[in-house]
């Protein structure tokens, strides 16, 4: 029997969190949630998380950019990170990927597309960040 994977959603928009949570639960993932960076970082540090899905900049907490904060933590180095953000510039995308994100999507993003990428990342722990980065760095919302 395959171990159930846990995904942490760090998204300030409650409606989006609800939609994404429902889709991820429907795919058999366990889901944890947070609306701010500090709480999300605490949750990630105290949970066995396979994937972190986050907005690039969260509105409150000590950690506005969860990507950087997670990559500074030795216990989170292997956690995959999917950024889904309103920030659509190539500079934002490049910065996030350089900071440690494994994939970057721009809102609005279709639920099916997000679920496809989330499933690939959450179940790919054996791949290195470099391999995933090469495969996912060009992901864009349709």
How is the chain split into domains, by residue range? 6-136
pLDDT at 125: 58
Torsion of CA 69, 72, 78, 80, to 10 degrees: 30
Residue-wise pLDDT tens digits, 53-99 = 999 888 765 555 889 989 999 999 999 999 999 989 999 999 999 99
More confident residue, 116 or 57: 116
Residues 6+ apart with CB under 8 A from 16: none
pLDDT at 61: 55
- For residue 1, pLDDT over 70 is answered with no
Model confidence, pTM:
0.85
- For residue 119, pLDDT over 90 is answered with yes
Class of domain 6-136: alpha beta
Residues 83 and 67 sit within 8 Å (Cβ to Cβ): yes
């Amino acid at each position: 029997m395959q171990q159930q994977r846990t995904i942490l959603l760090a998204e300030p928009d409650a409606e989006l969190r609800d939609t994404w949570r429902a889709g991820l639960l429907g795919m058999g993932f366990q889901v944890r949630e947070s609306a701010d960076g500090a709480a999300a970082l605490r949750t990630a540090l105290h949970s066995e998380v396979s994937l972190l899905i986050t907005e690039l900049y969260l509105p409150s907490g000590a950690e506005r950019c969860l990507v950087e904060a997670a990559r500074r933590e030795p216990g989170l180095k292997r956690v995959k990170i999917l950024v889904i953000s309103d920030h659509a510039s190539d500079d934002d995308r490049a910065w996030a990927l350089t900071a440690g994100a494994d994939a970057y999507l721009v809102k609005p993003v279709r639920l099916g597309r997000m679920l496809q990428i989330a499933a690939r990342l959450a179940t790919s722990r054996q791949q290195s960040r470099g391999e995933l980065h090469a495969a996912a760095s060009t992901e864009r919302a349709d």
